[in-house]
Structure 1
């Protein structure tokens, strides 16, 4: 039996990188997957096609998640897709959509701050609230946070603050949705491989690899496997937890 057999999952920001990896891994483990995207429709459809080639169900749904009404429409569309297609219902949500711009704090504007906070945090709040209204006992919500929730980086004040808030939102949601049988957790990745990263930031990749006890960057599949675990029956007594995936970087000495 695959770990997510019979589940229906909604993955936000599923057109590339971590989100695409999560969507594919969920399908491999038996879930039907609704892949959310904002503008990268072609990439999301390519991932959905791969899922269908596995013999699993997939649908691409577009939404602007900085808009609360759009978050609710997205969850409703995923729920209606599952119900109309085969009588299914939403059982898992992975809040992955996010942005990570750089901006020195002294010159940061409130508009720049809100763009990151609304994308990374307010969308998590709205999608989680909407999903919890339609999930039954056994439902799971996983937020993609970051090790920057506790270890800020220069020019990432808005990003780090939003991810710290995402971790605390999950703990609060775990407390309040637990009586309804819904679990809420976070996965906090470190530096994850992506195309062109080593060429664009060679000194950062080298520095990370040198500091990581496991000696490498993370891969989207590493994050996806953690999300599968947290959505599966293997994690049925885990909620309000932040699962850090950083190859051991955060345990290194700071002096």
Structure 2
């Protein structure tokens, strides 16, 4: 993906959480290619993190990966310390950490409920609160939700609820931080092929693609484009909103 040259992102200080795979990876690389300085938060060491580090290095030297568990206060504090050390402050925060869940409501126990809520909602709260003092006036916070927040999904009550919570989180926080010119928005992807060839069986992927107006599933780059728009200079009067990136499903 080649980012536009007039986005106003050159030199911006950016944090992307959950950044080594799928949407997070595409977003981190898109910011780097747009000239931003990027810190990527991730939970697990391994080849995806190493590969992203190599790809980021190919765009310039001002990027770093930080391993931290953002579902804990200790992890988010460590991430904030790393941002302070490497960037000094923050112009863009992308809360991208999230997990899926597929279980019948009758079988939805407390452990599974909290697993999804902690990753999809609590992490956004913890990260944003830990980084609040580092956000510059006029900064942008973008939460990556899901379009099922607005429609609901059978066998995904906890997942749908967690993504709906992000919509309210962004809407309310934008009202609190607006006095500093800080904008808070949510991107709500539809079904996205985060890793081609993995995930959905071909027949299901084909059926879902047929339900969209554009006749295809989304890609991580599709979502990254919306995130960059919300973070850039062309969206300076956009806050508290949710942009669906779902191909018109």
Residues 185, 242 of structure 1: 8 Å contact kept: yes
Aligned residues of 1:98 and 1:120 also touching (Cα < 8 A): yes
Consecutive unaligned residues of structure 1, counting only runs of 5 or more, are: 84-88, 250-255
Shift of 1:2: 4.7
Q: Work out which of the residue numbers 60, 70, 78 in structure 2 matches 1:55.
A: 60
**Partner secondary structure for residue 34 of structure 1:** strand
Q: Residue 14 of structure 1 is aligned with which of 10, 19, 42?
A: 19
Corresponding position of 1:246? 246
Deviations 1:7-47 (A, max 9, x none): 01110111110000000000111111111110144312321
C-alpha displacement of 1:189: 0.2
Are the counterparts in 2 of residues 170 and 240 from structure 1 also a CA contact under 8 Å?
Answer: yes
Change (3 A) 1:15 1:218: same
Q: Which residue of 2 aligns with 1:179?
A: 179
Q: Answer whether contact 1:45 1:60 (CA < 8 A) is retained.
A: no
Segments ≥4 residues shifted beyond 3 Å: none
Q: CA deviation at 1:137?
A: 1.0
Change (3 A) 1:35 1:56: same
Aligned-partner SS, 2:192: coil
Higher helix share: 1
Displacement after TM superposition at 1:229 (Å):
0.7
Closer/same/farther in 2, CA of residues 56 and 2 from structure 1, 3 Å limit: farther
- Structure 2: stretches of 5+ with no match in the other structure: none
Q: By how many angstroms is 1:80 displaced?
A: 1.4
Question: What is the CA deviation profile of residues 68-119 of structure 1, one whole-angstrom value per residue up to 9, with x for unaligned ones?
Answer: 2311321221121113xxxxx2111111111002111101111110111011
The residue aligned with 1:110 is 110
Secondary structure in structure 1 of the residue aligned to 2:223: helix
**Any conservation in 2 of the 1:15–1:41 contact (CA below 8 Å)?**
no
Instruction: Pick one of 54, 58, 74 that aligns with 1:69.
Output: 74
SS at match of 1:138: strand
Q: For residue 158 of structure 1, what is the aligned residue in structure 2? A: 158
Q: Which residue of 1 aligns with 2:149?
A: 149
What is the CA–CA distance in structure 1 between the aligned matches of 2:130 and 2:236, rounded to whole Å? Answer: 21
Normalised by the size of structure 2, how large is the TM-score? 0.93
In the alignment, is the contact (CA less than 8 A) between 1:31 and 1:56 conserved in 2?
no
Counterparts of 2:185 and 2:175, CA distance in 1: 11
**Matched residue of 1:139: which SS?**
strand
Number of equivalent positions: 243
Q: Secondary structure at the match of 1:137?
A: strand
In structure 1, what is the equivalent of residue 167 of structure 2?
A: 167
Aligned to 2:205: 205
The answer to whether residue 30 in structure 2 is matched with residue 25 in structure 1 is: yes
Cα distance per residue 1:141-161 (max 9 Å; x no partner): 100000110122222111110
TM-score (norm 1): 0.91
